[in-house]
Amino acid sequence: MPFDQFARFHQFNMGPYLMLPIMLILLLIGTTTLLGILLYRRFSASKYVGGSALPTDETPEDTLKRRFAEGQISKEEFEERMTELIGRTDHPL
């Protein structure tokens, strides 16, 4: 039997089924990646507010005190906002 007849006789013509293993591997990689991203976002979001490094247990008063200490707001603005939060003028600094 000549070689070209042998090759035609044993040629596999599987069509789209030849791509099935590759598609399954890509689907597995994509699913694993998506699951990893979702788990990362779920567990990192529980520790931080809006993806920033601020703890979730920081009260509005603590935020004002921190911003005043960092120089982001003036003393007058700090006192005004603290008065609005607490509802009285004799707040502790």
pTM for this prediction: 0.38
- The reported pLDDT for the residue numbered 93 is 55
Residues 72-92: what's their mean pLDDT? 80
- The reported pLDDT for the residue numbered 42 is 82
Residue 92 has pLDDT above 70, yes or no: no
The two tokens of residue 41 are: 């976002």
Q: Where are the alpha helices (DSSP H) in 10-93?
A: 20-45, 60-69, 75-86
- The reported pLDDT for the residue numbered 88 is 60
The pLDDT tens digits for 27-53 are 999 999 999 999 988 887 655 555 555
Instruction: For residue 40, give the nearest of 26, 51, 25 by alpha carbon.
Output: 51
Q: Where are the chain's structural domains?
A: 58-93
